[in-house]
Amino acid sequence: MRRWDLFCRVVDNFGDIGVCWRLARQLAEEHRQDVRLWVDDLTSFSRLCPSIATAADSQRVGSIEIRHWSADFPVVNAADVVIEAFACELPASYIDAMARRELAPVWINLEYLSAEDWVEDCHLLASPQTNSRLTKHFFFPGFTPRTGGVLRERDLLADRAAFDSAAEGEFWSTLGIPPRSADEIRVALFCYENAALPELLRAWSEGPQRVRLLVTPGAATAQVERWFGRVFLGAGPLEADFLTAHGLPFLPQATFDRLLWACDVNFVRGEDSFVRAQWAQRPFVWQIYPQAENAHRVKLEAFLACYLAELKVPGAAEAVRRCWLAWNFGGEIAAAWWDFAENRQSVERYAKDWASQLDQAGNLANNLVCFVNGT
């Protein structure tokens, strides 16, 4: 068993801690590693994991030690393996502690997920540090076997397969959402402020198909409430003709995963929910984290090319592409949506093949452990 220090800075939103928390759990629970997780923002963390005490400097959740990463960094021994998540910059005193170790730690910078070609070339590149005998390695998650893969819990696919209609019914009832009716399509909405959303809400309200929308807190809720001109009150939905919208509370991470399993179509964003939507094996629409000068467009196009390469049903790949582009960069979202919805069954069948392909890249936690073990 090795000791791991995992460092996470919450830049904004929940993706950084979302990924780090899943990784920490998999290393501890599935690989029996001794994990200490340093997080600078325990309040954000507590939303994903409600048992986190936000004022505690040090606490345990299961076998994982959680430390509040404050400006005043304590004197600690460096671990055998150090993960610097998303180039979060380790404290200088901790780097000194790493350099003082007899055996230099394995130092890994865990990067953001991307389907761009260059990722395969940069994955596992070594960066020797000047004035020290430490070397940092770049570890790139990705979608092909020559990358680090994506996170997947050992039992995830089995749990997903076991989530049948009875389990789904129970899930909805726990959330206080009515059971499915035959004529509706159930859609989860997790997005950033999105210029296409008002138009999409209008299209949904006009039918012809009933849409039951599950709206996550934050930007999605704010925009939906603005469109209705009313706020969500308790479990009561907002309704406009063919559209019924329910405001959800922030769900613990495992419950959020199940929301994606239970909906027919998932609107997701960022990095972690984007991956979970793929494991959910449902049609999904991704809103990529926006960057300056539309730099994110290249990243989105790279993923679309990779994801849609084997979707051969006539019209289906084009429908996905059109809907995603309209959702991210503007365009005829209403027409694009109904085209997407029409191709839903084909995309859903393909989602299963895609998940198997994704699995071939291996899972990120396994790949990290193999790298550290030199196997």
253 interacts with ligand TRH by CB under 6 A: yes
Say how many Å lie between the first and final Cα of the chain, rounded: 15
Member of 14, 69, 307, 354 binding ligand TRH (CB under 6 A)? 14
* 171 is a contact residue toward ligand TRH (CB under 6 A): no
Q: Is there a catalytic annotation at residue 199?
A: no
Tell me if 139 contacts ligand TRH by CB under 6 A. Answer: no
Evaluate whether 164 touches 251 at the Cβ level (below 8 Å).
Answer: no
Both structure tokens of 207: 């039918």
With contacts defined by CB under 6 A, name the span among 9-17, 150-158, 199-207, 304-312 that binds ligand TRH. Answer: 9-17
Provide the 3-class DSSP secondary structure of residue 116.
coil
Among 4, 5, 8, 16, binds ligand TRH (CB under 6 A): 16
Considering only 119-127, 161-169, 224-232, 271-279, which stretch makes contact with ligand TRH by CB under 6 A?
271-279
Beta-carbon contacts of 292 under 8 Å, excluding residues fewer than 6 positions away, are none
Q: Which of 18, 141, 148, 283 binds ligand TRH (CB under 6 A)?
A: 18
In the complex, the smallest distance separating the C-beta of residue 297 from ligand TRH, rounded to whole angstroms, is 15
SS3 string, 135-177, reads EEEEECCCCCCCCCCECCCCCHHHHHHHCCHHHHHHHHHHHCC
| Interface with ligand TRH (CB under 6 A), residue from 6, 15, 40, 98 | 15
258 touching ligand TRH, by CB under 6 A: no
If phi > 0 it is left, if psi is from -120 to 50 it is alpha, else beta; for residue 269 that is beta
Q: Any contact of residue 46 with ligand TRH (CB under 6 A)?
A: no
* 39 contributes a contact to ligand TRH by CB under 6 A: no
CB of 339 to ligand TRH, least distance (A): 25
Question: Using DSSP, how many helices (H) and how many strands (E) does the chain show?
Answer: 15, 14
**Residue 80: CB minimum distance to ligand TRH, A:** 27
Q: Binders of ligand TRH: how many residues, by CB under 6 A?
A: 22
Question: Which residue is listed with tokens 């939906």?
Answer: 224
Residue 271 annotated to the active site:
yes
How many other C-beta atoms are found inside a 10 Å radius of the C-beta of residue 83? Answer: 27
CB of residue 122 vs ligand TRH: minimum separation in angstroms? Answer: 17
Is residue 271 within the footprint of ligand TRH (CB under 6 A)?
yes
From 64-72, 150-158, 264-272, 324-332, span contacting ligand TRH (CB under 6 A): 264-272
Q: Assess 289 for contact with ligand TRH (CB under 6 A).
A: yes
Comparing CB distances to ligand TRH, the nearer of 30 and 34 is 30
61 to each of 58, 143, 151, 341, how far by Cα in Å?
10, 30, 20, 41
C-beta separation of 238 from 230 below 8 A: yes
- Smallest CA-to-CA distance from 25 within 40, 38, 10, 35 is with 35
Tell which residue, 253, 192, 189, 286, has the closest CA to residue 20. 253
Q: What DSSP letter does each residue of 174-201 carry, written as one string? A: HHTPPPP-TTEEEEEE--SS-TTHHHHH
Structure token pair of residue 127:
């960066």
Which of the residues 94 through 123 are near ligand TRH (CB under 6 A)? 112
Question: CA-CA distance, 128 to 131, in Å (whole number)?
Answer: 9
Give the range of 12-20, 70-78, 150-158, 227-235 binding ligand TRH by CB under 6 A: 12-20
Provide, rounded to whole angstroms, the least separation between the CB of residue 111 and ligand TRH.
11
The candidate with the shortest Cα–Cα distance to 265, out of 341, 198, 332, 330, is: 341
Residue of the chain from 31, 258, 269, 321 that contacts ligand TRH (CB under 6 A)? 269
Catalytic pick among 84, 153, 271, 272: 271
Q: Examine residue 172 and tell whether it contacts ligand TRH (CB under 6 A).
A: no
195 binds ligand TRH (CB under 6 A): no
Query: Among all residues, whose Cβ is closest to ligand TRH?
Result: 15
What amino acid positions are annotated as catalytic residues?
Answer: 16, 271
Binding site for ligand TRH (CB under 6 A): 11-16, 18, 48, 112, 190, 216, 250-251, 253, 256, 269-274, 289
